[in-house]
Structure 1
Amino acid sequence: MPTRLVAYEALNAVQQQQVGAIEVHPEQLPFCGDMYCALNTLLANPSPGVKGFALLVDDLPVAFLLLKRPPCLPHWADEHSATLHALQVDRHQQGRGYGKMCLQALPAVAREAWPQIKGLELSVDAHNLAAMGLYLGAGWVDRGEAYKGRVGYERRLSFRFNP
């Protein structure tokens, strides 16, 4: 089962429709949002500072994520990074390692999209233990900073590229 992380604009029309049908479990919605909001962010006001990527498994989209750069970078992020948002693995595909596969492929696609960036950053709810475990297990580092987010306190994590 070949997997690859592909830019949204490189998907064919059927794959783009399939991305739109990705759903997470209802209890995950406060943390990652839904595909309608993610695609609206990507497509409603196109910006060179927002890029979408889908994880394809045998050419079928099973996960989606957004990356942001200036002018769309959140206030808490370093200007030399890209930030990860809306990572969503379809609820029927969860538990198969696809979130981990997204994170493993992410540095290469991020650097291809924006060669000048020095790393990646994200913000995650401190009580979202599954997500914290996923990110920390993939080599992300907790920066020790928290701030009040939409749901609760958010932790800032970073992933620095090797020089």
Structure 2
Amino acid sequence: MHTQLVSYEVLTPIQREQLEQLKILSHQLPYSGDIDTALNTLLVRATPDIQGFVLLADDHAVGFFMLKRGAFLPHWATGDTATLHALQIDHRMQGRGLGKACLQALPQAVKAKWPDIKHVMLSVDAENQAAQNLYLSQGWVDTGEAYKGRIGFERRLSLTL
């Protein structure tokens, strides 16, 4: 399977339809939300400081995440940082290393869009051990900081570009 991370803007109409059909498992929804909410954030707030990225597997849209910077940063992120949001892999494609493929392609995508960004940060639910393990295995570092989030305590992770 050939994977490629692309900007949302370059999707074909068929790939946009495929992305709109992306579904995650119900127990994952509290962590990343659904694709409709993510796309609404991306498209309603059209700004250069919120960017969507799509993972294609053999030219089929199977994953998505958003990056935010500037005025759209959460309270816990610093100015030279972008933050990762709404990472989702279609439930029919999970377990094939596609989340890892997204994270491996992420640094190059950030540098291409925003060359001034030096770090990417994210917040992950402290109970979501699978996600934490994935991020840590890809070079993310736990900052040691936690805070009360929407559904429990969340850890902050950082990746230096």
TM-score of Structure 1 vs Structure 2, range by shorter chain: over 0.9
Which AA in structure 1 matches 2:22? I
Report the Cα distance in structure 1 between the residues aligned to 2:147 and 2:128, rounded to whole angstroms: 15
Identical-residue share of aligned pairs (%): 55
Report the Cα distance in structure 1 between the residues aligned to 2:89 and 2:116, rounded to whole angstroms: 28
SS in 2 for 1:47: coil
Report the Cα distance in structure 2 between the residues aligned to 1:49 and 1:74, rounded to whole angstroms: 13
Q: Could you list the per-position Cα deviations for residues 86-130 of structure 1 after superposition, in whole angstroms to 9, with x for gaps in the alignment?
A: 000000000000000000000000110000010110000000011
Which AA in structure 2 matches 1:70? G
Q: Cα RMSD between the aligned structures?
A: 0.6
- 1:65 match: 65
- 1:146 match: 146
Higher relative helix content: 2
Report the Cα distance in structure 2 between the residues aligned to 1:119 and 1:144, rounded to whole angstroms: 16
SS in 2 for 1:92: helix
Decide whether the 8 Å contact of 1:53 with 1:66 is kept in 2: yes
Report the Cα distance in structure 1 between the residues aligned to 2:67 and 2:20, rounded to whole angstroms: 17
Number of residue pairs matched by the alignment: 161
SS in 2 for 1:74: coil
- 1:134 match: 134
Report the Cα distance in structure 2 between the residues aligned to 1:27 and 1:46, rounded to whole angstroms: 29
TM-score, normalised to structure 2, is: 0.99
Structure-to-structure mapping, 1:112-123, within 5 angstroms? 112-123=112-123
Deviation >6 Å, runs of 4+: none
Report the Cα distance in structure 2 between the residues aligned to 1:70 and 1:16, rounded to whole angstroms: 27
Report the Cα distance in structure 2 between the residues aligned to 1:45 and 1:79, rounded to whole angstroms: 20
Give 1:22 deviation, angstroms: 0.5
